[in-house]
């Protein structure tokens, strides 16, 4: 009975040892294996057998992209303003062996390298440039970190300045400046709107005057054309009357009387001067002589 128990215990121990020897490496991970304290190989994803005592897993590396959110750093700008900068670094491990042996603590080294590089970059620019040149700072910081972390088996894919926090008094001054700029833009917009309104009103008044002048001109032209048409009609009627008299063979005496009637009408008008044609004067004198002769004959 005791022998059976011993055999069972030995079998359990052997099974436990065999189970502990079987290692499964997940996808996107690699294991760095040492044999008697020296680097032997790098296990890829799959099933592997680890020899106890002789072999050990020195490091596990994940090839997924990782995000390191470092603590805010106090940085002094070129114009001697102390600001707090919060940095986020995105990186991937591309070599498990370099990541295991390149640095004692790669993530800690990356954090300190990021802080010192950031201080150097911010120290070369002013506060306004730091606030408006984030993309430039991100690109320079990413380039420097990516090159410096290659011996550690780390590839820096992106760096972002998550937050830049200036001192309180600087914030207050910036808020006042922004408020003044907004008020200035508002005043300029109001002035431009007033100027545009005045210009449009003046333009409208000018167009109204032009339209009124055109209307008055058209009215005067129409009136003049009407008067000219009336005069033309009168002359045409008189000419037609003369033509009819001529066609009826009216003698010169009747024509002379008509001329005198026209002269009488002219005398009754408002004209101050009357010009009498010579033939009409002769006709009138002839008629007066005839009249005197008729009176003499009547007396006899």
Q: How confident is the model over 75-89, as pLDDT tens digits?
A: 888 888 888 888 899
The pLDDT value recorded for residue 251 is 55
Q: Please tell me whether the overall predicted TM-score, pTM, comes out greater than 0.75 for this model.
A: no
Q: Are 183 and 139 in contact (CB under 8 A)?
A: no
Helices (H), the chain: 2-21, 96-101, 106-122, 127-132, 134-148, 168-247, 252-267, 278-299
Contacts of 152 (CB under 8 A, 6+ apart): 98, 99, 102, 103, 106, 109, 110
Strands 154-165 and 38-43: unpaired
Closest CA to 2 of 12, 17, 10: 10
Q: Are 97 and 153 in contact (CB under 8 A)?
A: yes
Q: Are 110 and 149 in contact (CB under 8 A)?
A: yes
The pLDDT value recorded for residue 90 is 92
Tokens of 243: 């033509």
Contacts of 85 (CB under 8 A, 6+ apart): 72, 73, 75, 118, 122, 161, 163, 164, 165
Closest CA to 68 of 103, 120, 112, 31: 112
Rounded to whole angstroms, the Cα distance separating 238 from 226 reads 18
The pLDDT value recorded for residue 10 is 81
The per-residue b/e assignment along 51-71, b for 16 or more CB within 10 angstroms, e otherwise, is: eeeebeebbebeeeeeeeebe
Rounded to whole angstroms, the Cα distance separating 226 from 12 reads 133
Contacts of 131 (CB under 8 A, 6+ apart): 164, 166
Classified by CATH at the fold level, domain 66-166 comes out as Tetrahydropterin Synthase; Chain A (3.30.479)
**Positions in the chain whose pLDDT score sits under 70:** 1, 174, 241-242, 245-246, 248-300
Closest CA to 88 of 28, 147, 131, 137: 137
Rounded to whole angstroms, the Cα distance separating 41 from 97 reads 9
256 by Cβ neighbours in 10 Å (0-12 / 13-18 / 19+) ranks as middle
The pLDDT value recorded for residue 297 is 45
Start-to-end C-alpha separation, the chain? 205
The pLDDT value recorded for residue 32 is 92
What is the SS3 assignment for 62? strand
Instruction: Map out the domains of the chain as residue ranges.
Output: 2-62, 66-166, 168-249, 264-300
The pLDDT value recorded for residue 31 is 93
Tokens of 193: 């709107």
């Amino acid at each position: 009975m005791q022998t059976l128990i011993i055999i069972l215990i030995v079998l359990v121990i052997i099974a436990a040892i065999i189970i502990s020897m079987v290692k499964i490496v997940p996808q996107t991970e690699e294991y760095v294996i040492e044999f008697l304290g020296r680097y032997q190989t790098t296990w890829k994803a799959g099933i592997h057998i680890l020899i106890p005592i002789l072999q050990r897993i020195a490091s596990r590396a994940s090839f997924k992209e990782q995000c390191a959110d470092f603590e805010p750093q106090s940085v002094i700008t070129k114009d001697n303003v102390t600001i707090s900068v919060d940095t986020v670094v995105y990186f991937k491990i591309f070599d498990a062996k370099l990541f295991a042996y390149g640095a004692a603590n790669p993530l800690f080294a990356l954090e300190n390298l990021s802080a010192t590089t950031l201080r150097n970059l911010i120290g070369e620019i002013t506060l306004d440039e730091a606030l408006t040149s984030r993309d430039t700072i991100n690109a320079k910081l990413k380039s420097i970190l990516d090159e410096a972390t290659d011996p550690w088996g780390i590839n820096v894919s992106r760096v972002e300045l998550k937050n830049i926090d200036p001192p309180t008094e600087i914030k207050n001054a910036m808020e006042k400046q922004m408020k003044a700029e907004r008020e200035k833009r508002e005043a300029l917009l109001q002035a431009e709107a007033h100027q545009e309104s005045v210009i449009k009103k003046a333009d409208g008044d000018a167009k109204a005057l032009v339209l009124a002048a055109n209307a008055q001109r058209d009215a005067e032209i129409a009136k003049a054309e009407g008067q000219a048409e009336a005069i033309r009609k009168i002359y045409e009627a008189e000419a037609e009357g003369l033509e009819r008299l001529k066609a009826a063979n009216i003698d010169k005496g009747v024509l002379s009387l008509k001329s005198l009637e026209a002269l009488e009408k002219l005398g009754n008008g408002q004209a101050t001067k009357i010009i009498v044609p010579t033939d009409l004067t002769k006709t009138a004198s002839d008629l007066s002589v005839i009249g005197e002769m008729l009176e003499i004959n009547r007396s006899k």
